[in-house]
């Protein structure tokens, strides 16, 4: 090969590299311009103010494998003193999206996202590799993919990595492309230490996310993170801050569906918020109060807690629903949460009963929860049972609970028992004061529970 052709080849390769760098820099500036005023805007970008260099793309699989596996020796070899450390790597996210490569042809592919060596090592907890990169001059706030390495460390709850990044000057209030600060991404029980580190480094406990307008307390309450809630309250979190849906943290905690095994966590969160002074009847944009929302999720312990703190049992939402309507509508779908306990709690606190003509409709919705039907029916002296009631209950349910449904269908053929009528008369007389008056009556325990609609799995 002649010297002239060799020189021409190297010139061409250099030109290609320069064009690639220019393209990455243009893309970086374009993405930054979408969110002016944030940490990644052209004016305040750590890239432009600190290094004044474009991030280079790394397609070397060997280098990427070293980073993803946390191979310190290989990371030290590839990121030596002379090597560029602020690299950008294209990675596949865990999210699938529809994409079209040709007109009319769509396919589900993993969304491409941009990451850096710093993000990879921080999110996977490779502390030694992360320290090596930082000591080699990695930009601690570089965020080509929309978030910093500190965001990634907090989301993954890698506490030691978060501590190291902060010690190298990572911004604890950096705002991601989605509008979250690192404190918003402390979303797991293991991230409590990350949250403590951020608050000690000056992160604002009442910072709002840009779109949802959630505070960290909203996020912790929604996820049932009792330790996080306790921490944020200690740092002065605003109990009445409202997000874009008009929810306070207490609303957010009560509204979140959760499995039965998480019910105690949400009870603990709600208890902390109420004891700290949260308004028990705060309404969201749909005029739903915490009691409406807790009844939708059928968390009977939270329902009882809210009622004990003075929640109004008969307030209506914009849709016209009371808390009792909400729990009856969802009873069949939340059987493991024991919705009948929430129904009984509401009735014992003076909830307005369902119009008798609508009881057949309630039966159709709630027949899968016979005890919910039992608690409701036992509040009436007379129930207008017809042949339609038997038709409203699927045969398999009638066979699973034969004693209860047979006694229910028989109510249309005979009057209620005298003992039940006496219960109705006393409950009616003590309407709204039942729970306050019962201790004064000094009734035998069995009669006391009978007045409070104890479950017998039969009607008479």
Q: Give the pLDDT of the chain (460 residues) as one tens digit per residue.
A: 444 444 444 344 344 444 444 444 444 444 444 433 333 333 233 333 334 456 788 888 999 999 999 999 999 999 988 788 999 998 765 555 555 555 556 666 555 688 999 999 999 999 999 999 999 999 999 999 899 999 999 999 999 999 999 999 999 999 999 999 999 999 999 999 999 999 999 999 999 999 999 999 999 999 999 999 999 999 999 999 999 999 999 999 999 999 999 999 999 999 999 999 999 999 999 999 999 999 999 999 999 999 999 999 999 999 999 999 999 999 999 999 999 999 999 999 999 999 999 999 999 999 999 999 999 999 999 999 999 999 999 999 999 999 999 999 999 888 899 999 999 999 999 988 899 999 998 899 999 999 999 999 999 9
Contact 213, 197 (CB under 8 A): no
Q: Where in the chain is the domain with CATH 1.25.40.20?
A: 22-98+107-203, 205-352
Q: Please, what is the Cα angle at 51 between 45 and 53, to 5 degrees? A: 90
- For residue 107, the model assigns a pLDDT of 60
Angle between helices 370-377 and 339-348 (to 10 degrees): 10
For 248-270, b where at least 16 C-beta lie within 10 A, e where not — what string?
bbbbbbbbbebeeeebebbbbbb
DSSP letter for 183, please: G
- For residue 41, the model assigns a pLDDT of 32
Q: How far apart are the first and last CA of the chain?
A: 104
Contact 254, 290 (CB under 8 A): yes
- For residue 95, the model assigns a pLDDT of 59
Contact residues for 215 (Cβ-Cβ < 8 A; gap 6+): 205, 206, 207, 208, 237, 238, 241, 243, 249
Q: Please give the helix or strand (H or E) that residue 95 lies within, else none.
A: strand 87-102
Confirm or reject CATH 1.20.58.710 for domain 22-98+107-203, answering yes or no.
no
- For residue 235, the model assigns a pLDDT of 97
Backbone angles phi, psi at 364, to 5 degrees: -60, -40
Structure tokens at 277: 């002074």
Contact 97, 109 (CB under 8 A): yes
Angle between helices 300-308 and 263-275 (to 10 degrees): 10
Q: What does DSSP say about strands 105-115 and 87-102: parallel, antiparallel, or unpaired? A: antiparallel
Contact 130, 118 (CB under 8 A): yes
Question: CA-to-CA distance for 94 and 91, rounded, in angstroms?
Answer: 10
- For residue 105, the model assigns a pLDDT of 63
Contact 105, 97 (CB under 8 A): no
Distances in whole angstroms, Cα of residue 41 to Cα of each of 118, 119, 140, 175: 20, 19, 16, 11
Structure tokens at 242: 């409202």
**Closest to 238 in 3D by CA, of 218, 254, 255, 222:** 218
Q: What does DSSP say about strands 56-57 and 87-102: parallel, antiparallel, or unpaired? A: parallel
Range 205-352: architecture per CATH = Alpha Horseshoe (1.25)
């Amino acid at each position: 090969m002649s010297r002239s052709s060799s020189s021409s080849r190297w010139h061409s390769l250099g030109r290609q590299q320069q064009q690639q760098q220019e393209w990455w820099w243009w893309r970086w500036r374009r993405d930054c311009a979408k969110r002016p005023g944030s940490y990644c805007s052209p004016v305040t970008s750590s890239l432009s103010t600190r290094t004044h260099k474009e991030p280079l793309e790394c397609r070397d699989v060997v280098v990427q494998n070293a980073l993803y596996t946390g191979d310190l020796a290989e990371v030290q070899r590839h990121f030596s003193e002379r090597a560029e450390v602020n690299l950008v790597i294209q990675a596949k996210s865990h999210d699938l999206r529809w994409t079209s490569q040709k007109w009319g042809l769509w396919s589900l592919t993993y969304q491409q996202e941009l990451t850096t060596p710093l993000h990879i090592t921080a999110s996977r907890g490779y502390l030694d590799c992360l320290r090596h990169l930082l000591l080699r001059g990695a930009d601690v706030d570089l965020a080509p993919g929309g978030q910093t390495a500190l965001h990634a460390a907090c989301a993954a709850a890698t506490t030691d990595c978060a501590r190291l990044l902060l010690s190298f000057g990572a911004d604890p209030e950096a705002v991601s492309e989605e509008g979250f600060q690192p404190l918003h991404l402390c979303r797991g029980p293991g991230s409590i230490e990350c949250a403590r580190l951020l608050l000690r480094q000056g992160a604002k406990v009442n910072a709002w996310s840009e779109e949802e307008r959630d505070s960290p307390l909203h996020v912790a309450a929604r996820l049932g993170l009792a330790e996080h809630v306790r921490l944020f309250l200690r740092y002065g979190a605003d109990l009445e801050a409202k997000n874009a849906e008009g929810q306070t943290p207490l609303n957010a905690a009560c509204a979140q569906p959760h499995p039965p095994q998480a019910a105690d966590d949400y009870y603990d969160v709600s208890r902390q918020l109420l004891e700290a002074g949260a308004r028990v009847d705060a309404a969201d944009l749909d005029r739903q109060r915490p009691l409406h929302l807790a009844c939708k999720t059928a968390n009977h312990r939270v329902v009882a807690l809210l009622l004990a703190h003075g929640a109004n049992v008969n307030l209506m939402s914009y849709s016209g629903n009371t808390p009792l309507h909400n729990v009856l509508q969802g009873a069949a779908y939340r059987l493991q949460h024991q919705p009948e306990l929430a129904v009984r709690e509401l009735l014992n606190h003076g909830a307005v009963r369902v119009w008798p003509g609508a009881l057949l409709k309630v039966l159709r919705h709630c027949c899968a929860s016979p005890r919910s039907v039992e608690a409701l029916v036992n509040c009436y002296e007379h129930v207008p049972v017809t042949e339609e009631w038997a038709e409203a209950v699927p045969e398999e349910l009638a066979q699973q609970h034969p004693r209860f449904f047979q006694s229910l269908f028989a109510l249309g053929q005979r009057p209620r028992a005298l003992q039940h009528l006496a219960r109705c008369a006393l409950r009616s007389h003590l309407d709204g004061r039942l729970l306050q008056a019962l201790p004064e009556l000094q009734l035998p325990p069995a009669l006391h529970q009978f007045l409070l609609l104890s479950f017998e799995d039969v009607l008479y």
